[in-house]
Chain A
Amino acid sequence: METASGSAVATENLTRSFGRRRAVDGISLGVGAGETLALFGPNGAGKTTLLRILAGLLKPTSGSATIGGVKLPGGAEVRRRVGVISHHTLLYEALTARENVEFAARLYRIPDFRGASERALDRMRILDRADSPVRSLSRGMRQRVSVARAMVHEPRLILADEPFTGLDVVGASVLSQLLADVTQSGAAVILVTHNIDEGLALATRVGIMDGGRIVLLDDRASIDRSAFAQRYRNLVAAGA
């Protein structure tokens, strides 16, 4: 597997065990600025664990990872560079959408936190519901707020774990455009998804994880969609 010392993200033999089970098993990869790595894999392949390590939410058992050249766990400067979109929304239901995003903006010490929140909500086309409590929003609307929350500080590395969960066609299209825009601006994206079409549409590189390992990593341009889809389906079926 490839490593890239000058990458936005680089991992070297990254391993994370839970008891005797290796959720992430010796992963070495690099993702450069402006790249989107779409990671596919069956449930339990270790994709979410990998993202949680890169987000600083889990410590690796062994191996190392760097973000922007700084070795994890790093400090506040590293965490400031990262945005996390998860299938959990990371929101507080009792607060409004605006309060949630403003709270995140203030955690990242954005001076104009109100303006930044307004822009992030507007970008996800949820500004009209900004003053509604999150508990009153549909799952898809919550996911839009969650994305606004993750992007409010304009991260240089976006770790997106099933970010399209619950989004309708418009929401998914807005998110796709947003991810395309941020990679255009030089940010890196690691996108974990089960949706082959969405993943391949955004990816510059494509990987498949299984059993904690990366079993395929290739440039998007060299991948045939139907052959890839068949291989992925076979892999998922084998593990079912």
Chain B
Amino acid sequence: MLSDAWLIARKDLAIEFRTRSAFLSALVFALLGIVIFFFAWDSSAVSAIDLAPGVLWVIFTFSGLLGMHRSFGVEQPDRGIDGLLSSPVARESIFLGKAIANLVFVAVVQAVAIPAVGFFYGLPLGDVALPLAGIALLAAIGLVTVGTLFSAMAVNTRFAELLLPMLSLPFFVPVVIPAAQATAKLLSGRPVGDAVPWLKLLLAFDIVFVVACTLAYPFTLEE
């Protein structure tokens, strides 16, 4: 199952690498968001350490949606999805492949956005870089599994651009809250141990979402 998923993920990443349409728009959105937040920020009212976690997770959430919308969108023009569904590959592998490609997409955006936030807000990220990357990865897993499922549901509708965020955002909340809380603990110089309860919650939601979304995906294919 995983080898098929990886095959599909590689195909999606190759298409994104050639077209770069979603990646560039997500990256531009992320950087513009950071700059806008920076110029709207009154440093005498709110400290950078209080503001930065919110900025990071707002940007990850919305830039991720851009990539997830593309996920099943690339299957639409010539009905590539019919080729996948009529092949011997399990439906679950198709879902996991799409989710893996989305995870790479979000992770690359995060890899650019985190240093950019550190730069603009003057945050010393060096000591917390590794645990922060771990939080970002854990949260990205939750976001992409939910986003990939709803992308599959929304893609055949007339209002896909509207429906995907409307369906996804409420389910992003249980992922974004612990991720933002854990990020805040780290950036404020607390020991990693203080963030562990939030990380456990994040991990629990990841497990629930990965299992539930993988099992639910085949039901989204019914016409």
A residues with CB within 8 A of B: 55-59, 75-77, 79-80, 82, 84, 86, 88-95, 99, 103-104, 106-109, 133, 149
Assess the A79–B87 pair: CB atoms within 8 A: yes
If A99-B14, A103-B7, A103-B11 touch, whether A92 touches B88 (CB-CB below 8 Å) is: no
* Residue B83 interfacial (CB < 8 Å): yes
Asked if residues B82 and A88 are in contact (CB atoms below 8 Å), the reply is yes
| Contact (Cβ within 8 A) A86 B82 | yes
Quick check: B82 and A107 within 8 Å, CB to CB? no
B80, B84, B90: most-surrounded residue (chain A CB, <10 A): B80
Q: How many interface residues does B have (CB within 8 Å)?
A: 23
Distance in angstroms between the alpha carbons of A57 and B82 in the assembled complex:
7
A94, B18: Cβ atoms under 8 Å? yes
Nearest B residue to A149, CB-CB: B83
Interface pair B87/A90, CB less than 8 Å apart = no
Q: What does the 1/0 interface line of B57-88 toward A look like (CB < 8 Å)?
A: 00000000000000000100111101111111
CB distance from A147 to the nearest CB of B (A): 13
Give the docked Cα–Cα distance between A78 and B15 (Å). Answer: 29
Q: How many A-B residue pairs have CB under 8 A?
A: 71
- Please list the residues of chain B having a beta carbon within 8 angstroms of any beta carbon in chain A: 4, 7, 11, 14-15, 18-19, 74, 77-80, 82-90, 222-223
Point out the residues of chain B lying under 8 angstroms from A133, CB to CB. Answer: 18
B40 → A minimal CB distance (Å): 38
A-side binding surface: helix, strand, loop or mixed? loop
A75 surroundings in chain B (CB, below 8 A): 88
Q: CA–CA, A59 to B219, complex, Å?
A: 12
**A residues less than 8 Å from B84 (CB atoms):** 107
Considering the complex, give the chain B residue whose CB is closest to the CB of A77.
Answer: B88
Q: A79-B87, A107-B89 are in contact. Are A92 and B7 (CB under 8 A)?
A: no
Complex CA distance for A58 and B85, rounded to whole angstroms: 10
Residues of chain A with a CB closer than 8 A to B82's CB: 55, 57, 84, 86, 88, 90
